[in-house]
Structure 1
Amino acid sequence: MFRTLLWLPGTLLVVAVLLDLIVTCIQTGEGRLSRAVHQPLYTLLRLTARWTGRRSLLSWSTPVLITGTLTAWTLLTWVGWTLIFWSQPGALLGAESGQPATLIATFYFVGYTISTLGLGEIIAPQPFWRVMTDVAAINGFFLLTFAITFVVPVAQVRTERRELALLLHRAGPGAQQLILNATHDHDRGLNSLVGDLHPLLNRLDAAHLNSPYLHRFHDHDRQDALDLHLPALGEALMIIQGALAGDCPRGLGRALASVDSLSRTFERTQARHPVLRAGEVPPAPDLQPLRDAGLELRSEEDFQKYLRPHAALRARLHAMARAGEWRWDQAATPVADA
């Protein structure tokens, strides 16, 4: 009696994976199943990196999370269809022996069916189960297609993340060094820091809105680390807008809006992680290096007044740097090896 009801949990597993595939690969966001796989794996990886003192372990987040997600989708689909076929005695027979398939044989049959191999060593004698075999094969084809849809965009976006991080690394590093280098070493001045980066920022913002789990992916080298250089850029843009005298560069508001949007998707992705401590705003930047470089600044009082409504954004950027195991002074100070 219990065996004949196994088709119900099996169907639920298959449908759950299909819904998760659709949400994660097509719709904007992250499926519940994918999130349930990502969070423990990511937490374990972070704890291991912190316990061993090796930040480089975080760079394994991409292969670990992708492999974990694909494995979960495949295994749950495999188990689901196994339960469906096993729920009916005699649904599957050995092609040569004509004997009902055992549980292990059913598991084997489902494996080569959803992989679309179709070996034919086990057959479904009844029309209904023949149709279900076709449905399982189609399900396996969808699983493979969605897996490719999941992996390929991740690789593309990671290339763009590294491109932006490398541009900022060479233009900085550090928020104030970004400002100083743009002011003194570029023929377009601060416009080079704002206008040139806006298209890439906009593409990354759209990609992270569509796939927020990208914020869990980290890079090994400092020059590639978006979780270090994006906070530096955000801090630099706020200094330009709130502290520098004179007109703001064109496109500054749009660039800062993209940084703000990226920080908000980070917050939604990492909301349950202890790295995101509510209200932990980094200290106000010391603008003396900019004064020493001859830049004209507004009064300290005016700058502090500007920073107050941006406290939440600065807290998110601070949390982003901490998520990558970076110190805030590495993002904020103008010294490369701070």
Structure 2
Amino acid sequence: MNILYLCLGILVFTLIILDIIKTALSSSGGGRVTNAVTNGVWKAFFLMAGKRGTSKLLSYSGPAILVSILLTWVLGLWSGLFLVLLSDPGSVVNSKTLVSAGPLEKLYYAGFTLSTLGMGDYKASSDVWRLVTSAAAFCGFASLTLSITYFVPVLSAVGLQSTLSLYISGMGKTPQQMLANGWNGKDFSSFFGKTSNLCQMLMQHTMNHHSYPVIHYFHNSKPGRAAIPAIVQLYEAHRLLRYRVPQGAVKDDTGIEMLQTALDTYLDVLKGTVKGHLPKQQAPTTDVRQLQEKGVPLRNAEETSQSQSPDKRHRQMMLSSLLEMDGWSWQEVYSS
């Protein structure tokens, strides 16, 4: 018996099984193998698209990542079982002649064992290998079930992500327009009337992102429907309310705090995504003429810059990184 093949096969098979369990059943993101495949496929698509968020090629990155994950799991289990069978020259025999199977026959046997679609032309040679075959068949069936269990909520989370983007875009095409549409001449009651639903959707999207990080790579090539520009736009609208509009004109501290909590939680979850990335662009100076024309009371720019903490500026750097890493710029946020 070849111990090297046996140990390597058990290692690969176990690694894939643990990765499937971590990805499909855990609420803390994907396994290491899944994350590596996800990042690799996205980078390939991102480079082929010229790092442009408007490229339609990026629209296929999400489905391609899911297919790649499934293929990685299948090939990993298949190769792991094949190496285990290869460790013993007599592990598999021909059902009629009882002649030991060669490497290609064992590869075939490993594949139909995992898919439980065997033709019966080859069989395990002993009780030990019959037990191994039975265990492998059960793992193959369980893995297929877990894959479906994983893909269904991922696609549901992608749907919520698209709904959230459209909801934010419906409130206004820019941060200034969102606030101008929400101003009734006295306060922002119209804006905060939508805050409860907005925060609920954003928190649900954040939790989905935490459980299924792959949804971050389901890309929409239209800026008005893309998740990242929409959430950055919402963050900028909140920043204007928090630091540029006098507190007396806001009149809804609860709504402001709810929105602050939802946005901060979202950025905390995505902190690992932008780790190590230094943005090439900075947030532009906000043009508030539209708000002034609407009659919205505003603080002066000097007072605003003094009131923003280093933590807030750090978060704006994170927003710049998120935009760049998704192929967008601040122009998509502030251009209607």
**TM-score scaled by length of structure 1:** 0.91
Number of the residue aligned with 2:7: 8
Residue identity in the other structure for 1:234 = Y
Alpha-carbon contact 2:165-2:231 (below 8 Å) kept: yes
Number of the residue aligned with 1:294: 295
Alpha-carbon contact 1:195-1:252 (below 8 Å) kept: no
Number of the residue aligned with 2:160: 160
Alpha-carbon contact 1:93-1:123 (below 8 Å) kept: yes
Work out which of the residue numbers 246, 255, 278 in structure 2 matches 1:251: 255
Work out which of the residue numbers 314, 323, 330 in structure 1 matches 2:316: 314
Tell me by how many angstroms 1:220 deviates.
Answer: 3.0
What secondary structure is seen at the aligned counterpart in 2 of 1:93? strand
Tell me by how many angstroms 1:195 deviates.
Answer: 2.2
Equivalent positions of 1:260-279 (< 5 A) are: 260-271=264-275, 276-277=277-278
Number of the residue aligned with 1:102: 102
What secondary structure is seen at the aligned counterpart in 1 of 2:270? helix
Structure 2 distance, partners of 1:187, 1:300, is: 21
Structure 2 distance, partners of 1:74, 1:278, is: 37
Tell me by how many angstroms 1:52 deviates.
Answer: 8.2
Task: State the Cα deviation string for residues 232-279 of structure 1 (Å, max 9, x = none).
Answer: 00110111111112245332222222222222333312435xxx3259
Equivalent positions of 1:197-276 (< 5 A) are: 197-245=198-246, 246=248, 247-249=250-252, 250-271=254-275, 276=277
Tell me by how many angstroms 1:74 deviates.
Answer: 0.7
* Structure 1 residues 53 and 302: alpha-carbon distance in aligned structure 2, compared to 1, 3 A threshold: closer
Residue identity in the other structure for 1:323 = M
State, as a whole percentage, how many aligned pairs show the same letter: 26
Residue identity in the other structure for 1:108 = Y
* Structure 1 residues 248 and 85: alpha-carbon distance in aligned structure 2, compared to 1, 3 A threshold: farther
What secondary structure is seen at the aligned counterpart in 1 of 2:49? helix
Structure 2 distance, partners of 1:143, 1:244, is: 54
Residue identity in the other structure for 2:230 = H
Q: Does 1:195 align with 2:196?
A: yes
What secondary structure is seen at the aligned counterpart in 1 of 2:50? helix
* Structure 1 residues 132 and 117: alpha-carbon distance in aligned structure 2, compared to 1, 3 A threshold: same
Alpha-carbon contact 2:175-2:237 (below 8 Å) kept: yes
Residue identity in the other structure for 1:210 = S
Number of the residue aligned with 1:90: 90
Alpha-carbon contact 2:238-2:256 (below 8 Å) kept: yes
Tell me by how many angstroms 1:280 deviates.
Answer: 5.3
Structure 1 distance, partners of 2:257, 2:52, is: 41
Residue identity in the other structure for 2:13 = V
What secondary structure is seen at the aligned counterpart in 1 of 2:190? coil
Tell me by how many angstroms 1:229 deviates.
Answer: 0.4
Structure 1 distance, partners of 2:94, 2:40, is: 40
Number of the residue aligned with 1:125: 125
* Structure 1 residues 52 and 312: alpha-carbon distance in aligned structure 2, compared to 1, 3 A threshold: closer
Equivalent positions of 1:10-25 (< 5 A) are: 10-25=9-24
What secondary structure is seen at the aligned counterpart in 1 of 2:200? helix
Structure 1 distance, partners of 2:127, 2:67, is: 36
Structure 2 distance, partners of 1:270, 1:218, is: 17
Q: CA RMSD in A?
A: 2.2
- Unaligned stretches of 5+ in structure 2? none
Task: Kindly report structure 1 stretches of 4+ aligned residues shifted beyond 6 Å.
Answer: none
What secondary structure is seen at the aligned counterpart in 2 of 1:123? strand
Structure 2 distance, partners of 1:47, 1:133, is: 42
Equivalent positions of 1:45-64 (< 5 A) are: 45-50=45-50, 55-64=55-64
Residue identity in the other structure for 1:32 = R
What secondary structure is seen at the aligned counterpart in 2 of 1:268? coil
Structure 2 distance, partners of 1:149, 1:159, is: 16
Task: State the Cα deviation string for residues 40-92 of structure 1 (Å, max 9, x = none).
Answer: 21111111111789622111110111111111111011000001011111111
